[in-house]
Structure 1
Amino acid sequence: MTLKVIDSHLHIWDPAVQDLPWLASLPALQHRYTVDDLAAHYARQGVEFLGGVYVEVDAADPLLEDRLIYENGSPLILKRMMRTRVSPYMRIPVIADGVREPLHVDSEPRGRVLEPEFLDGLRVLASLHMPFELCNRGDELLDMARALAQVPEETVVIDHLGNMPGLDADSKRAIEALGELPNTYIKISGDNPVDPHIVEFVREAFGPKKVLYSSNWPVVELNSSFDAHFALMRDLFGSDEDFFMNNACRAYGIRI
């Protein structure tokens, strides 16, 4: 039976149309990327690519990004996680299925997730049944655990293995605490080649129903490659339908 895949973390952009300042030092990624380009990668893997979750790209003009994604009619974009600054009075694009505030960038203050405004914003998102996409600095994992424990009703999807720096005691303690929260999921992806030992620890902490496959395409091409990452995921997870499809459906409310 052909493996069905939902990619829980993909990006698309066109530098000729959008200003993405963080790409300035990354010439290898200064190209146009489309969902059809990604679909071609999956076709070569011999799997059935059902589509994926678009995640905002930290563009200089989020309103332009909103419009471009609104105008993109690809049926392969199953959900849209758009940019905002989390607060109880946040602006949420009408096309958004959930939101992300990048917490991993230099401009974001440390301890941001523990601010009352941020926590109140998560409570608003929970009342709207909108997931929050969490991309954090790896050395702030304990702050993430402390913050999210105060809003356990909110669905949170953690990007890139939480950017876990390693299997040090603090990181392990934070991941175990996050894994115990009822509505918190985590993606097996990253900018660097994935460490199978970290994957195994995270899978044990979160359980088989709360770990999601993601490619992080095209950023995965910086230090690894789509093909290498997907091959490693097949080695570690085989044809696990929960990992490759069902868990993303649960986390994001995707109906196939």
Structure 2
Amino acid sequence: MNQISESRMELPVTRREWIKVSAAFAAAISTQDLLAAKMDPPLEIIDCHTHFYDPSRAEGVPWPAKNTSLYRTVLPQNLRELPQYRPVTGTVVVEASPWVEDNQWLLDLAKDDPFVVGIVGNLNPGVPEFAEHANRLAKNPLFRGIRVSSNRVNELLMTGELDDFRRLADLDLSLDVNGGPDSPQSVAMLAQKVPQLRIVQNHIGNVVISADAPPEDWVSAIQAAAACPNVFCKISALVEGAARVQNPVPTEPDYYRPYIDVVWNAFGEDRVIYGSNWPVSERGSSYAFLQQLSMDYASSRSKSALVKFCSVNASKAYKWVDRPGRKAT
């Protein structure tokens, strides 16, 4: 009996049996892949550079200017309604108005809309009333920092009046800096003077993006800012930079890649942040295109890099608020 059993075990598998086994194996693998895909959480995408405003309100708005395409009511719902490459799950809003009470207007707007996870306000450091305004606004957990121009940073570096920047750090707030291609140098100098302050370079320094190699001065400035561990960089305003050369802007990813490479290689995957600069970005392209441009680049680096770029790094820089009901809006 043992010999018979052994001889049966040694019989070759028929073609039909092999097909059945192969099909079963393939089905098992497909099921495992499907289960693995289901285990991956949806991608969290926090757009860290949007502008909201309402010219129809009684007092009007100081920005944007009348008779421009931007001069219209722009609110969170308008962003949510846009065709998107991948669904945005929240936003950090940047206040462009210099009117102090417009900071409160944004906070009031965000109060009942959990889609807004943070506000970057507009205050002027170095003036006597700065501390009062900063202390008052910081009592609202959605107020996550302020934005200033690189010119203002340079002025205060020249005079040595840096106490208000230290005050931001003491309040656990961040500082956005906006300026031209040399602005990362200013960011680097401030970061060295106030290392406890989290600083976010805006719009990769607003460099003009062309078919030429990235300007050496801009590359050096980006590398100087990236050398400071307390500095982050928003990969934003790419299409605006390209629109200065040609509009409609190029749609080939390789056109932008050399410039993104400079920023990514300098800052690494742990300090780059997604931002759209919408609705200003409309002057260069659709929201879906600019999203695809930066997210496909991040994805080409690695899956983990994409996750960090879309939300995790922004959480470190801004400490944005994960509000109940946010993803249901």
Which of 182, 202, 225 does residue 139 from structure 1 map onto? 182
- Counterpart residue number, 2:315: 249
User: Which amino acid is 1:67 matched to?
Assistant: Q
* Cα deviation digits, residues 184-233 of structure 1 (max 9, x gap): 10101116156321111101101100000111111110122212101212
CA distance in 1, matches of 2:313, 2:266: 15
Q: Residue 26 of structure 1: CA displacement?
A: 5.8
Name the CA shift for 1:182/1:156 in 2 (closer, same or farther; >3 Å). Answer: same
CA distance in 1, matches of 2:163, 2:208: 29
User: Which amino acid is 1:181 matched to?
Assistant: C
Matches within 5 A, 1:1-256: 1=40, 2-17=42-57, 19-24=60-65, 27-41=68-82, 44-47=84-87, 49-59=88-98, 61-63=99-101, 65-72=102-109, 73-87=112-126, 89=128, 90=130, 91-92=133-134, 93-94=136-137, 95=140, 96-101=143-148, 103=149, 111-116=154-159, 118-165=161-208, 167-190=214-237, 192=240, 195-238=256-299, 240-256=306-322
Kept in 2: contact 1:86–1:117 (CA 8 A): no
CA distance in 1, matches of 2:86, 2:222: 33
Supply the RMSD in Å over aligned alpha carbons: 2.4
Structure 1 unmatched runs, 5+: none
Q: Residue 109 of structure 1: CA displacement?
A: 6.2
CA distance in 2, matches of 1:156, 1:41: 29
Q: State the SS of the aligned residue for 1:27.
A: coil
CA distance in 2, matches of 1:46, 1:111: 38
CA distance in 1, matches of 2:93, 2:284: 21
CA distance in 1, matches of 2:73, 2:313: 29
Q: Residue 8 of structure 1: CA displacement?
A: 0.9
Q: Pick which of 213-222 and 88-97 moved more.
A: 88-97
Q: Residue 254 of structure 1: CA displacement?
A: 2.5
CA distance in 1, matches of 2:191, 2:163: 11
Kept in 2: contact 1:113–1:147 (CA 8 A): no
* Cα deviation digits, residues 81-113 of structure 1 (max 9, x gap): 111111385131524321122x16xxx568325
TM-score (norm 1): 0.86
Q: Pick which of 92-101 and 5-14 moved more.
A: 92-101
Q: Pick which of 181-190 and 159-168 moved more.
A: 159-168
Name the CA shift for 1:83/1:235 in 2 (closer, same or farther; >3 Å). Answer: same
CA distance in 1, matches of 2:321, 2:60: 33
Larger Rg: 2
Name the CA shift for 1:225/1:121 in 2 (closer, same or farther; >3 Å). Answer: same
Q: Residue 37 of structure 1: CA displacement?
A: 1.3
Q: Percent identity?
A: 26
CA distance in 1, matches of 2:316, 2:183: 26
User: Which amino acid is 2:188 matched to?
Assistant: A
CA distance in 1, matches of 2:127, 2:182: 26
Q: Pick which of 76-85 and 164-173 moved more.
A: 164-173
Q: Would you tell me which structure has more helix in proportion to its own residues?
A: 2
